[in-house]
Chain A
Amino acid sequence: MEEKVIEAKDIVVKYDGITVLDGVSLDVLKGDFLGIVGPNGGGKTTLLNALLGNVKLSHGEVRLFGTDLNKFKEHHRIGYVAQHAIQFDPLFPATVEEIVRLGCISRNNLGRWITAADKEAVKEAMDAVGIYEVRRRKISELSGGQKQRIFIAKALVKRPELLILDEAASGLDVSIQDRFVNLLRQLREKTGVTIVTVSHDLSSVMCQANKLAIVNRKLEMTEITPGTDPTKSLRDAYGEHFTFVFHNHRDNCIIPR
């Protein structure tokens, strides 16, 4: 049986009595690439927060790697890039390497100094996203797309089995997005990492993901295979007046050939 990396059953999240997620269930298997899409305010980020234990569930349960979320302690198995990661304090004095090194921290090594193995992992992660040569630069000196790579490298340091990206490619120009897509593809091929990404870029999600979750208070899961046409579900979420055009090739869909 395939290993379930994330298992959510009938979760309900309410903010101040208003239901934001209503009876959401999903399974993410090892090696899956789940794309989460949906309109603004539909509950995408709330879903991620619920899966990571950042919000209190009114109902339901979440299991990560088979362990109940409330008992889950293996945070080193998860890499996370936050929605607004690059919107940090521009005055914050830190080099690229110092920020990537923060990725070494986990519950298992609190109070332990950085080891040689950690340093090697940091170097590998910076290499993987192409920022090794600027490791001594102040983070605010880099452009938006380059900053995003810092946070992806930080998430990769622990060689995570599950990578969660909350609109990690938003605000990046198409060439950087292209590199980002390729990076994720290479990562999946090399490490078999499970990826969950929230995105507004339907094109990118349809090209990369093997599962699509459309979130608009409720959740609808679709397997993405050649020929998949989730138009009805997308129209339910975004509105009837949209036309969605799908094509079957699974190559880079961001820059048209």
Chain B
Amino acid sequence: MDLITAFGYTFFQRAFIGGLCAAVLCSLLGVFIVLRRSALIGEGVAHLSFGGIALGLFLSIYPLDTALIISLLGTLGISYMQRKRIVYSEMAIGIMISFGLGLGAVLASLGNGFNVDLFDYLFGSILTISADDLSLSVALSLVVIVFILLFFKELMHLTFDEQGARLSGVPVFILDLAFNIVLAFTVVVSIKIVGSLLVSALLILPASSAMQLSKSFRGTVAISLVVGIIAVVLGLVASALYERLATGGAIVLISIGLFLLCVLLKKIMGSEPRPVTIS
């Protein structure tokens, strides 16, 4: 299929819009996640969503709704365990990863016949994006973008220095919880494009690429957005041109290619300058 023909199909148009939503959200949130050294949280929410999808397919209800509910409950559980210091943060996330995978595996084994559908959600499938999927993606994307725009400086403070943010009067726990909730939204938006197993790559790679090139926080966010959008668009185009190509995998491999390119560009541009002297 050539590109012009692909854009003539409704499914590809939906995939393109949904892909852009996923790229923008993952690239935005990814910067905060990477800089807070909490990349594992993306993995945790993604695996929870896998359990949620399996639950939806098992109960024959809309899987993205159940993915959203289970992801939200899981993030609340992670926040609760962290807040009450029941376990370390990594352990809380690890427990939720295990729960999501365990739930998914058990329901997949019990529910005969939906394993093929589940595979689409695991690795993404642009062919299966429905009008409902797209509506949900756009609605959730708007919520996430408004949240980030409103609380950008507070989130940056939280990311840079949590104690300092708290002392400034930032309600750290509430903001952190809200962030985890919008992260659950982001994962759900991205599932149909890259799949629940590859979402965390889209969260980590654009931000990691941007960090190679930018000196400023805003610059990092901007470059992350550009890298994320390029990766998703190229991945979608590649999977339109080569129909057997898995979109999610293609997007992730392109993201890795872009990351390596950014590392190379940083090397070419020179290493960190020496400390400057000021009077």
Contact = CB atoms under 8 A, between A and B. Distances in A.
A108 B169 contact: yes
A146 B156 contact: no
B167 A75 contact: yes
B166 interface: yes
Contacts of B275: 141-143, 146
A104 interface: yes
B110 interface: no
A1 interface: no
Contact of B272 (A108, A111, A130, A140): A140
Interface residues of A, number: 43
Interface string B220-255: 100000000000000000000000000000000000
Interface string A153-164: 010000000000
Interface in B154-186: 154, 156-157, 160-161, 163-171
Of A85, A92, A102, most buried by chain B (CB within 10 Å of CB) is A102
B160 A94 contact: yes
A105 B211 contact: no
A147 to B, nearest CB: 9
Contacts of B35: 89, 92-93
Interface in A127-175: 130-131, 133-134, 136-138, 140-143, 146, 154
Contacts of B220: 93
Contacts of A110: 151, 154, 169-171
A253 interface: no
A172 B163 CA distance: 23
A255 B131 CA distance: 73
A102 B279 contact: no
B216 A93 contact: yes
Interface in B18-49: 35, 37
Contact of A98 (B163, B216, B277): B216
Given A82-B163, A130-B279, A137 B215 contact: yes
B270 interface: no
Contacts of A95: 215-217
Nearest to B221: A93
A167 to B, nearest CB: 15
Given A102-B160, A110-B151, A114-B153, A76 B278 contact: no
B113 to A, nearest CB: 48
Given A94-B216, A107-B170, 8 more contacts: A76-B169, A82-B161, A85-B164, A93-B220, A94-B160, A98-B216, A131-B278, A141-B215
Interface of B: 35, 37, 150-151, 153-154, 156-157, 160-161, 163-171, 210-211, 214-220, 272-279
